[in-house]
């Protein structure tokens, strides 16, 4: 059993007056990819924002390799090795690709930044071709690659990935997830991946959690989640042939 790198315990978080996270606990073991599945409004993004320090939790704790990082300033959390690749890319549109990558390495003082940039270009050769172009003129897929590459430049121990498949063609999603899998296998980057696209997420993940309305309703290995009837029906789109042709919305989810 590998060591748990990121440990979330009984986290509660408010989004304005709304309680967005209602007591979530999860573990991300070192070197693994853990995915959190869930529909819109399940609280997935809030969970990641709380881990990266952009939002403060009301209760609960977040531990990185045993040290609490809950409610710290985002820059201190990045320095500790947690980097957030946000939903919807959020690149710096008027900076060049190179400058965006330099901002990813903002918290670093060491001299390996240049070497890391070459490493990143190795994974994303298209970015090397476009390195002097302003990021706002890149295509959606390239912007997503830039967002991941920028996150890598921070030299993270854990990457928080928020819907990297959002708004991309299936082909591009395949490309990007293949690169994520390589990053995990070759460089040992631990990942906490939040996705609505359960099929691709369960494909690369080791373990998974399912979140609904701020709670974890199911957890297990990716394999086990793939086999679950509820996941197959509600996230993977399989047709269930009921004996009496019962309606989909009438059926109770049991998460078994």
Which residues lie near another protein (CB under 8 A)? 52, 54, 73-79, 83-86, 90-95, 99, 102-104, 106-107, 136, 150, 154
Q: Could you give the angle at which helices 140-152 and 170-187 cross, rounded to 10 degrees?
A: 10
Q: In angstroms, give the least distance from the CB of 194 to another protein.
A: 14
Cβ of residue 146: shortest distance to another protein, in angstroms?
Answer: 11
Q: How far apart are CA 111 and CA 121, in angstroms?
A: 17
Q: Which is nearer to another protein, 91 or 198 (CB)?
A: 91
**Contact indicator for 62, 8 with CB cutoff of 8 Å:** yes
Q: State the minimum distance, in angstroms, from the CB of residue 107 to another protein.
A: 4
Instruction: Identify which of 52, 62, 53 has the alpha carbon closest to the alpha carbon of residue 27.
Output: 62
Comparing CB distances to another protein, the nearer of 8 and 152 is 152
Query: Which of 86/141 has CB closer to another protein?
Result: 86
Nearer residue to another protein within complex by CB, 4 or 134:
134
User: How far, in Å, CA of 157 to CA of 78, rounded?
Assistant: 10
Minimum CB separation of residue 149 from another protein in Å reads 12
Could you tell me the smallest distance in angstroms from the CB atom of residue 142 to another protein? Answer: 14
Query: What contacts 167, CB < 8 A, 6 or more positions away?
Result: 88, 140
Cα torsion angle, 200, 124, 44, 47, sign: positive
Q: How far is the CB of 105 from another protein (least distance, A)?
A: 9
Nearer to another protein, 29 or 140 (CB): 140
Beta partners for 26?
8
| DSSP characters over 112-163 | THHHHHHHHHHH-HHHHHTTTSBGGGS-HHHHHHHHHHHHHTT--SEEEEE-
Nearest to 65 by CA among 76, 80, 50: 80
Nearer to another protein, 75 or 112 (CB): 75
Residues with Cβ within 8 Å of 149's Cβ and at least 6 positions away in sequence, in order, are 101, 104, 120, 123, 124, 127
Q: Helix, strand or coil for residue 219?
A: strand
Among residues 25 and 134, whose Cβ is nearest to another protein? Answer: 134
In the complex, least distance from residue 129 CB atom to another protein, rounded to whole angstroms:
21
């Amino acid at each position: 059993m590998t060591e748990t790198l990121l440990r979330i315990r009984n986290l509660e978080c408010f989004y304005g007056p709304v309680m967005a996270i209602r007591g979530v606990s999860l573990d991300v073991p070192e070197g693994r990819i853990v995915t959190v599945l869930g529909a819109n409004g399940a609280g997935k993004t809030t969970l990641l924002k709380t881990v990266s320090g952009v939002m403060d939790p009301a209760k609960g704790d977040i531990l990185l390799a045993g040290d609490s990082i809950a409610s710290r300033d985002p820059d201190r959390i990045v320095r500790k090795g947690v980097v957030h690749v946000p939903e919807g890319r959020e690149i710096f549109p008027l900076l060049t690709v190179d400058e965006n990558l330099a901002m990813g390495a903002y918290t670093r003082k060491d001299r390996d930044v240049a070497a890391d940039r070459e490493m990143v270009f190795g994974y994303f050769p298209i970015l090397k071709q476009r390195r002097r172009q302003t990021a706002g003129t890149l295509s959606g897929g390239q912007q997503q690659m830039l967002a991941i590459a920028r996150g890598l430049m921070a030299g993270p121990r854990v990457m928080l990935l928020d819907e990297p498949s959002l708004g991309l063609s299936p082909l591009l999603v395949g490309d990007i997830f293949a690169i994520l899998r390589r990053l995990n296998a070759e460089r040992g980057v631990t990942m906490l991946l939040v996705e609505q696209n359960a099929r691709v997420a369960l494909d690369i993940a080791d373990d998974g959690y399912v979140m609904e309305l701020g709670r974890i309703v199911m957890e297990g290995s990716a394999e086990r989640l793939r086999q679950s009837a509820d996941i197959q029906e509600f996230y993977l789109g399989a047709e269930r042939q009921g004996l009496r042709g019962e309606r989909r919305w009438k059926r109770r989810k049991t998460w078994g």
